[in-house]
Structure 1
């Protein structure tokens, strides 16, 4: 039985949303059956939407990236918005929200494991670096790209480490110290 195009697109989107959430929360080991069950669909129609699980994984990164870039663009409208973005990123709320959190922190360690995943992640990361280089209130724009890469590496690494430990106090300390180090960077000069 064929479904109307709008219904098919809606189901495709639902699969992407649920798969993105599950992959961020539990990694790429989540089965197709688990994903389809989370969407309320049976396993059968999966291949009507995706060529393979690897294709779904790559598309999930692109899907998550779209939403994340919208959020980053909104933050980039003001210097304080960018500073708030960094503070929010390095918070225990973000650390604890794996399923709704950062795709880089969730997927970077698994990037080489599946075809298309590294390409999707690379495309996203290039966009984020460009936005941080252009929108963050750097002291000078001379080294903005390098500064952006260092800042993002600290942010991503801080969240990954904070999630990895089973000691709440240490986890909080990691987030706090990474944020303090980033906030200690020289402030932009007024021009």
Structure 2
């Protein structure tokens, strides 16, 4: 049975969405093509009609994932507080792919690393544009430092089993970064 082009595109988007969620929850290596296709409600056999390989799927998934948001950042402190919140920490499936997948992306294909790097550069540029009262070089430096602290704090807060310490990591990093914005 032939499937329309529209249905093919819808199926591919469903696969990419399922892959993005599963990769953030469990990592690239712990997720199989079968897991992804089952989550997408499709059969494993159809996978190669959409992607050349799992590496191709990973790269295309990373291209589709939003690091934070594609909209301009209007309030840097609000962005920091939202990013470094317990709700974001606890939401692997739709949370920041950088915090969930950066360490694993190092060992992925060049196209996958290129996609993650593009998303990182996009986020740095958006954050840099939102930095008030600074020249371009100072804004970029502040954006790189702030984003690095935010992602690092989220990773550390997710890693620790001590919820009080995890909350402290998020809260103190958010407070420190907010001070830097004043």
Once the two structures are superposed, residues 40-89 of structure 1 have per-residue CA deviations (whole angstroms, 9 ceiling, x without a partner) of 11100001001110111111111113x7442xx24x2x3x3x32111100
1:6 aligns with 2:6: yes
Once the two structures are superposed, residues 88-117 of structure 1 have per-residue CA deviations (whole angstroms, 9 ceiling, x without a partner) of 000000000000000110111011222122
| CA gap 1:58/1:95 in 2 versus in 1, 3 angstroms | same
Counterpart of 2:48 in structure 1 is: 47
Asked if 1 retains the 8 angstrom alpha-carbon contact of 2:80 and 2:178, the reply is no
Counterpart of 1:56 in structure 2 is: 57
Tell me the C-alpha RMSD between the 2 structures: 1.3
Counterpart of 1:126 in structure 2 is: 121
Name the CA distance, whole Å, in 1 between partners of 2:104 and 2:112.
8
Specify every segment of 5 or more residues in structure 1 that has no aligned partner in the other structure, as ranges. Answer: none
The one of 97, 100, 105 aligned to 2:99: 105
TM-score by length of 1: 0.89
More displaced, 11-20 or 122-131?
122-131
Specify every segment of 5 or more residues in structure 2 that has no aligned partner in the other structure, as ranges. Answer: none
Name the CA distance, whole Å, in 2 between partners of 1:153 and 1:68.
14
Name the CA distance, whole Å, in 1 between partners of 2:108 and 2:134.
39
TM-score by length of 2: 0.93
The one of 167, 171, 181 aligned to 2:176: 181
